[in-house]
């Protein structure tokens, strides 16, 4: 989901303009017309990953043992979030704490900023989501949480999810503006806060969206929560010799798979979101799903272990393909690279079938 800028007042507007500039600089580049530049980025990233691998080999056991223990920790996931909220009132209090914390950090960085203040009623709402008005974020969240069943999450994870269900609050746009300013403009229409069962949705983004789009935004954040519980936030795999690999630049794959799962979940329930966030990242996740199979990619996404996906990709597209794709560290580079591998292996016709998928077409990352 893209972050929108806008209606702040006073000095905060300057901050927002600055963040907008930052956002333009760090946003993912379009694929069309950039293939050449991306190819060199892929080559550079591959070289640097190889250097890291060489260093790891020299460091030897220490790095290996550390990665192994982190790998095993992540494989357990979390039985419950470290901070579990029980009621919407508790969750709203948490949102308010977050806004206050962001405001303090903004003022520490920009003493002359005058960020907008909390308004009466900003953090008010029904205590029980089932009592909220039909069509409201809270009520839609009850519906979407019902989609996240054993058929989607598997028995064990569905049990964890149901024991500490996500609490979804609709919070003022201002909270998301502040968060975006602090993190460089990469915030979204919704946020899942890792380590909790709390999802915050941007009131302005929700007001502008269709009911299907709103269900989908909620489903996207709920996928993040389920993946957090399952260990999916730590993308990792075992290499050909069984050694644990935990790269640090896999956010693009996590977001793409999150969006893909949420898109497919929405559509399975007859709710077409109408647009796709993270177009290139989601297209990459779709390709991986076609190669590895839906159940293999789903388990990798929710649990974080991509060993089976890597094996399937390398079997189809050649040894080393998955690692080079991962080494790009971004959706556009990974997309260009996977498409090149498909073409090089004479699989253009199969690729054309994938590209006719409605989610890929709506994502708009290829033309
Ligand atoms: Zn996301």
Q: How far is the CA of 185 from the centre of ligand 1 (A)?
A: 14
User: CA-to-CA distance for 280 and 65, rounded, in angstroms?
Assistant: 34
Q: How far is the CA of 288 from the centre of ligand 1 (A)?
A: 18
Confidence of residue 50 (pLDDT cuts 50, 70, 90): low
Q: How far is the CA of 228 from the centre of ligand 1 (A)?
A: 12
Q: How far is the CA of 168 from the centre of ligand 1 (A)?
A: 15
Q: How far is the CA of 227 from the centre of ligand 1 (A)?
A: 11
Query: ∠146-273-194 over CA atoms, to 5°?
Result: 55
pLDDT at 39: 60
Q: How far is the CA of 124 from the centre of ligand 1 (A)?
A: 25
Q: How far is the CA of 278 from the centre of ligand 1 (A)?
A: 9
Q: How far is the CA of 252 from the centre of ligand 1 (A)?
A: 10
Q: How far is the CA of 10 from the centre of ligand 1 (A)?
A: 30
- pLDDT (tens digit per residue) in 290-330: 999 999 999 999 999 999 999 999 999 999 999 999 999 99
Q: Out of 25-29, 344-348, 354-358, pick the least confident.
A: 25-29
pLDDT at 66: 87
In the chain, where the domains are located: 30-77+236-363, 82-230
Query: ∠245-56-69 over CA atoms, to 5°?
Result: 45
DSSP secondary structure string for all residues of 246-268: --S--HHHHHHHHHHHHHHHHHH
Confidence of residue 145 (pLDDT cuts 50, 70, 90): very high
Average pLDDT, the chain: 86
What letter would DSSP give residue 182?
H
pLDDT at 42: 61
- pLDDT (tens digit per residue) in 243-263: 999 998 999 999 999 999 999
Dihedral sign, CA of 320, 321, 323, 324? positive
Residues within 5 Å of ion ligand 1 by Cβ? 258
């Amino acid at each position: 989901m893209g972050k929108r800028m806008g209606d702040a007042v006073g000095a905060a507007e300057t901050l927002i303009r600055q963040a907008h500039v930052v956002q333009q600089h760090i946003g993912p580049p379009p694929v069309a017309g950039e293939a050449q530049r991306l190819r060199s980025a892929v080559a550079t990233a591959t070289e640097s990953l190889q250097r890291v691998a060489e260093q790891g080999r020299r460091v030897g056991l220490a790095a290996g043992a550390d990665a192994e223990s982190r790998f095993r920790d992540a494989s357990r996931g979390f039985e419950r979030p470290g901070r579990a909220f029980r009621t919407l009132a508790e969750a709203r209090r948490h949102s308010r704490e977050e806004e206050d914390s962001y405001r303090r950090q903004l003022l520490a960085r920009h003493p002359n900023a005058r960020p907008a203040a909390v308004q009466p009623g900003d953090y008010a709402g029904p205590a029980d989501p089932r009592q909220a008005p039909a069509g409201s974020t809270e009520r839609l969240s009850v519906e979407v949480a019902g989609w996240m069943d054993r058929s989607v999450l598997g028995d064990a994870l569905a049990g964890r999810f149901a024991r500490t269900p996500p609490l979804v609050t609709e919070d003022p746009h201002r909270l998301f503006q502040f968060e975006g300013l602090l993190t460089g403009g990469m915030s979204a229409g919704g946020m899942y806060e890792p380590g909790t069962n709390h999802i915050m949705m941007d009131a302005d983004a929700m007001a502008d969206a269709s009911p299907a789009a709103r269900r989908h935004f909620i489903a996207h954040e709920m996928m993040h929560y389920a993946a957090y519980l399952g260990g999916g936030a730590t993308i990792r795999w075992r290499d050909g010799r069984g050694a644990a690999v935990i790269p640090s630049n896999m956010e693009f794959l996590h977001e793409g798979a999150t969006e893909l799962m949420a898109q497919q979940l929405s559509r399975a329930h007859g709710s077409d979101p109408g647009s796709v966030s993270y177009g290139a990242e989601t297209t990459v996740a779709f390709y991986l799903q076609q190669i590895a199979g839906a159940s293999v990619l789903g388990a990798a996404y929710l649990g974080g272990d991509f060993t089976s996906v890597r094996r399937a990709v390398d079997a189809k597209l050649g040894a080393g393909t998955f690692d080079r794709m991962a080494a790009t560290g971004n959706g556009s580079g990974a997309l260009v690279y996977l498409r090149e591998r498909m073409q090089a292996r004479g699989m253009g016709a199969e690729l054309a079938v994938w590209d006719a998928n409605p989610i890929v077409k709506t994502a708009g990352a290829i033309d």
